[in-house]
Structure 1
Amino acid sequence: MSRIRRNLVLAGLLIGSALTGCATLPDTDALIDRHNAQTANFETARGPVSAKRNAAILAELQRTSGKLDILDKQMALEQAISDSPLVLGNKASLLQDGAATYAAMFGAIRQAKDHINLETYIIEDDATGQEFSDLLQQAQARGVQVNLIYDSVGGINTPKAFFERLSKAGVAVLEFNPINPLSAKGPWQIYNRDHRKLLIADGRSVILGGINISNVYTSGSAVLERLIKPPADGGVAWRDTDLQIEGPVVAEFQKLFLQTWEKQKGPPLAAKDYFPKLAPQGKDIVRAIGSTPDDPYSLIYLTLISAIGNAEKTVHLTNAYFVPDVQLLKALTDAAARGVQVQLILPSHSDSELVFHAGRAHYAGLLAGGVQIYERQGALLHAKTAVIDGVWSTVGSTNLDWRSFLDNDEVNAVVLGREFATQMQAMHQRDLDASQRITPQAWADRPLQFRVKEWLAQHWGRLL
């Protein structure tokens, strides 16, 4: 089922239950001002580091990255709004597109010895879904406990028999906020969806990002990859990004999974070693940031707005679904006005036409404000990434739209450091090379039919 069909299901239920419009985005200026006076602190697998080492780590980051406000202010803000620490000693590896991500996920499942925790928005009953199902059942058969959370709306097109087979094999299966109110184990919260994508193996490695479990991701987005392995069913290739992390920060992602399981009143989990002793695996500094509608404000939204506001040189965002609110638009144009290079890579087409045109409705104002807009060609863009000032990076499940910021459970990893950001920047450049720049003149000359679609779509922004 396409994103637009899923959203129409949600929209109808939302309108019918008069639940839309209840939540609002936070006053970011007030929150950021309140929190930015603090000092960033770092942790290892053994806990917080000394004040002396803390200062040395920050000094080294600034030495290699330049004297940037984003380091001082952004890290302190993230620390203040989230109880998830900045953790040292991790190895973060970029996974571009579905083939690389699935290979990493299959490897993690095959190598798991204690448990597998899988959380996903969509898991389809197609060849890819069946391969996951087979591997999970094989893991369960060899004594590895498999725990699966899937979203009820995201899985609306997946037969119940698919999940029943897993359950019969011993997999613990949990449906997130069932569409059927009679199946709800607490308040019926149809508007709250689990949009996270997490695979945690043995509490030692995590894979997260934008990739669901579906055949649409099996073809790579590069031209050569598409020639070698054309998209499934003759469709278009999907361009997405995931991240594999090994090291002490995996425990923070594990906490998020277990919190969701508990909040959804899942059955008691089998006794496994969910929090093993974790040794350093690399040099990456990572923070896990999870957002839910239960929070007083979206932690990821506030983090991103602050990161853009603290940027001094570059803001490079790549995102699949762009339906911004006023504060995000202002943060982008304010950054451009102070001389920051602001580049947005957005889709040239989408599986949701409403979202696509609702986003395009903001192009004129952004272009007038000095923001550079590019549309990715040759693939359906589904990635959700950012790299700012060549030192602050994030990969996750969060779109730049109201639904992600207000109604969804989302998860992102923030990675600090120039070495990882260099990889992110190279990936951004590859997407830029495959994109078409939208100039103010070309946008002013667009066909009337686009203008009409934009005008109509923007009125649905809060529901998309």
Structure 2
Amino acid sequence: MLDFLKSHTWTILIVINYLVAISAIVVILLKNRNPTKTVSYILVLAVFPFFGIVVYYLFGQEYRKTKIFNRKDISNDKVVKTVGDQLRLNGRDLKAVDDLLDDKIKLVKLLKNSDKSPLTTNNSVEILRNGEVKFKHLFEDLKKAKHHIHIEYYVLEDHRIGTELLDIICAKAREGVEVKLVYDDVGSKMSSKMKRKLTECGVEHKPFMKVIFSSLAGRSNYRNHRKIVVIDGRIGYVGGINVSDDYVNFEENNNTRYWRDTHLKIVGDAVKVLQFHFITTWDFVTDGDIEIKTSYFPEITTDSAVAVQIAASGPDTDWANIMEALLTAINNAEQYVYITTPYFIPNDQIVTALQIASRIGLDVRLIIPKNSDSWIAENATNSYLEPLLDAGVKVYLYSKGFVHAKTMVVDDIFSTVGTCNMDNRSFNINFEINALIYNKEKALELKALFLEDLKDCEPLDVARWENRSTWCKFQESVSRLWAPLL
């Protein structure tokens, strides 16, 4: 028997592989998911023994349905319910927002039934261009913290800018300020020495979904891609800028390339929603060990009235909230749609919406990096450009450096800044968060930034793009096969 097993080991392993693969294929078919994604997984399982099973295990689990991320329902907490009731707009405020939108963008109606995405109007919003501006404001606000600091980041590295941030929160913790920190265990790199220092200073810090070999995990896991800071429940930061020297254009950093990004500073009631999402994350990483205090949700008075809705999505949500919000905004646009994203690997709905918007005469423009930080992502992105160009969408390649901003502006009315890329990973896999802003002044400000960025872009010529080499097209086609899995 042993001799038979030894002489037929490879055959036995192949048989086991395909038995498992067939079982997985049956499960995939029964789920009735997107046909393109279904075919992609079936091809990988059928053509690549063993490797296909690993890919399906890492990418193919539908966490939104299986509820593997089964967090405690924070929304049932008494304090959170009270805050939610307070955030519900009165009829006068709702009418003011309706008058502004003029029935052009129905995002409020899309998300209004979710207690986790209330529309708030008592807000001031400051748009922060690039890391050097964001961190200047953030550090000033952190140093003024009196009660608590809550921080959640995908990338947190203890190099120059990260060490400065961590030193500040250590000092605040020594002063008696409550400091809680969540960092993604794949995206972040902190030394054991720094972690010990945080503990000794009194900073509570937890990794999100700890992995054994983070350097090998890459992008394959369901990761927390959010960037949230809440200070004293009054000031909030959200956007695309992580805590890494790569994101800061200081000359002494010797960055290999210029980094273009966008972040928001919010003061007002929308911060309470950011607080809610941080608390939900902290509840997850500590297995429910959190006391929700009324002091986390103080009364806030601002001299501004910017309407803001916080949209969050991830494996723990029933719907792809951010993707649906972006799609609704595009479908209801009447003048223009300006999008900036570092990764453009959209689903069919987004592609069709952009094509239709352009074909009916809207000004649709897209800024993407000329050179991505991922070969396969860049080629997959390129495979989607020709159908957009054919429909009249104007595509621009950012050539000054790397554009990492995730923004969209529509009709001088609606804008969004957040962590969500235009790709499947952001729409369906990672934990993401965006601020949706209904305000003409802020929309015009983001529009001006978009037009300013065009000066550092190369417009993509349709004729030249169609004449690119067969080898380029082949690479794009192969990469596109992986697009539903990326």
Q: TM-score, normalised by structure 1?
A: 0.83
Residue 401 of structure 1, aligned match among 420, 423, 428: 423
Q: Is the 8 A contact 2:331 2:353 kept in 1?
A: yes
Residue 129 of structure 2, aligned match among 87, 90, 96: 96
Residue 204 of structure 1, aligned match among 214, 231, 234: 234
Question: Secondary structure, in 3 states, of the residue corresponding to 1:243?
Answer: strand
Residue 452 of structure 2, aligned match among 426, 430, 444: 430
Alignment of 1:29-108 (within 5 A): 46-59=86-99, 61-62=100-101, 67-70=102-105, 73-80=106-113, 83-108=116-141
* Structure 2 Cα separation of the partners of residues 344 and 258 of structure 1: 35
Cα offset, 1:159, TM superposition = 2.7
Q: Which AA in structure 2 matches 1:264?
A: V
Root-mean-square deviation over aligned CA pairs: 2.5
- Residue 343 (structure 2) pairs with residue 304 (structure 1): no
Q: Is the 8 A contact 2:398 2:454 kept in 1?
A: yes
Corresponding residue pairs, total: 413
* Structure 2 Cα separation of the partners of residues 162 and 53 of structure 1: 47
Q: TM-score, normalised by structure 2?
A: 0.80
Cα offset, 1:345, TM superposition = 0.6
Cα offset, 1:49, TM superposition = 3.9
Q: Is the 8 A contact 2:270 2:310 kept in 1?
A: yes
Bigger proportion of residues as helix: 2
CA pair 281-174 structure 1, distance change in 2 beyond 3 A: farther
For each residue in 1:74-116, what CA deviation from the matched residue of structure 2 results, as whole angstroms up to 9, or x when unmatched?
2211213563211012100000000001111111110101110
Residue 59 of structure 2, aligned match among 8, 13, 20: 20
Residue 343 of structure 1, aligned match among 345, 352, 365: 365
Q: Is the 8 A contact 1:44 1:248 kept in 2?
A: no
CA pair 313-266 structure 1, distance change in 2 beyond 3 A: same
- Residue 205 (structure 2) pairs with residue 173 (structure 1): yes
Q: Which AA in structure 1 matches 2:481?
A: H
User: Unpaired segments of 5 or more residues in structure 1?
Assistant: 1-11, 27-42, 182-188, 220-228
CA pair 178-433 structure 1, distance change in 2 beyond 3 A: same
Q: Which AA in structure 1 matches 2:347?
A: D
Cα offset, 1:351, TM superposition = 1.5
Q: Which residue of structure 1 aligns with residue 343 of structure 2? A: 321
Q: Which AA in structure 2 matches 1:386?
A: M
Q: Which AA in structure 1 matches 2:389?
A: L
Q: Which residue of structure 2 aligns with residue 34 of structure 1? A: none
Identity of aligned residues (%): 31
Alignment of 1:92-171 (within 5 A): 92-155=125-188, 157-171=189-203
Q: Which AA in structure 1 matches 2:113?
A: A
- Runs (4 or more) in structure 1 with deviation over 6 Å come to none
* Structure 2 Cα separation of the partners of residues 142 and 345 of structure 1: 45
- Residue 279 (structure 2) pairs with residue 258 (structure 1): yes
* Structure 1 Cα separation of the partners of residues 457 and 422 of structure 2: 19
Q: Which residue of structure 2 aligns with residue 40 of structure 1? A: none
* Structure 2 Cα separation of the partners of residues 167 and 402 of structure 1: 36
Cα offset, 1:298, TM superposition = 1.1
For each residue in 1:281-332, what CA deviation from the matched residue of structure 2 results, as whole angstroms up to 9, or x when unmatched?
4121101111121112211011111111111111110001111111111111
* Structure 2 Cα separation of the partners of residues 318 and 57 of structure 1: 26
User: Unpaired segments of 5 or more residues in structure 2?
Assistant: 1-50, 66-82, 214-218
Cα offset, 1:21, TM superposition = 2.8
* Structure 2 Cα separation of the partners of residues 45 and 88 of structure 1: 14
Q: Is the 8 A contact 1:81 1:299 kept in 2?
A: no
For each residue in 1:9-39, what CA deviation from the matched residue of structure 2 results, as whole angstroms up to 9, or x when unmatched?
xxx898267242343999xxxxxxxxxxxxx
* Structure 2 Cα separation of the partners of residues 390 and 105 of structure 1: 28
Q: Which AA in structure 2 matches 1:247?
A: G
* Structure 2 Cα separation of the partners of residues 242 and 14 of structure 1: 39
Question: Secondary structure, in 3 states, of the residue corresponding to 1:342?
Answer: strand
Q: Is the 8 A contact 1:179 1:190 kept in 2?
A: no
For each residue in 1:328-386, what CA deviation from the matched residue of structure 2 results, as whole angstroms up to 9, or x when unmatched?
11111111122211110111112112211110111111111121101111110100000
Cα offset, 1:252, TM superposition = 0.7
